[in-house]
Amino acid sequence: MILSDYHMHTSFSDDSEATMASMIKRSIELGFHTICFTDHMDLDFPIEFGGGFIFNTDIYSRHVERLREKYADQITVLCGVEYGLRPYLKEQFHTLTKKNNFDFIIGSSHLVGNIDPYQKEYWEGITEEDGITKYLEAIYANVQAYDDFDVYGHIDYAVRYAPNQNKNYSYAKYADIIDAIFTTLIQKGKGIEVNTAGYKYGLGHPHPQTDILKRYKELGGEIITIGSDAHKPEHIGYEFAKVEELLRSIGFEYYTIFEKRKAEFIAL
Q: Which residues bind Zn ion (CB under 5 A)?
A: 82, 108, 229
CB of 253 to Zn ion, least distance (A): 26
CB of 73 to Zn ion, least distance (A): 28
Which CB sits closer to Zn ion, 24 or 111?
111
Which CB sits closer to Zn ion, 108 or 166?
108
Dist CA 55 CA 12 (whole Å): 6
Dist CA 16 CA 52 (whole Å): 12
Name the residue whose CB lies closest to Zn ion: 108
Instruction: Name the β-bridge partners of 39.
Output: 81
**What is the C-alpha radius of gyration for the chain, rounded to an integer number of angstroms?**
17
Which CB sits closer to Zn ion, 6 or 171?
6
CB of 38 to Zn ion, least distance (A): 6
Which CB sits closer to Zn ion, 71 or 229?
229
Contact (CB, 8 A) for 235 and 195: no
CB of 6 to Zn ion, least distance (A): 11
CB of 159 to Zn ion, least distance (A): 14
Which CB sits closer to Zn ion, 7 or 72?
7
SS (H, E, C) the chain: CCCEECCECCCCCCCCCCCHHHHHHHHHHCCCCEEEEEEEECCCCCHHHCCCCCCCHHHHHHHHHHHHHHCCCCCEEEEEEEEECCHHHHHHHHHHHHHCCCCEEEEECCCECCECCCCHHHHCCCCHHHHHHHHHHHHHHHHHHCCCCCEECCCCHHHHCCCCCCCCCCCHHHHHHHHHHHHHHHHCCCEEEEECHHHHCCCCCCECCHHHHHHHHHCCCCCEEEECCECCHHHCCCCHHHHHHHHHHHCCCEEEEEECCEEEEEEC
CB of 41 to Zn ion, least distance (A): 11
CB of 143 to Zn ion, least distance (A): 15
Which CB sits closer to Zn ion, 16 or 76?
16
Which CB sits closer to Zn ion, 235 or 251?
235
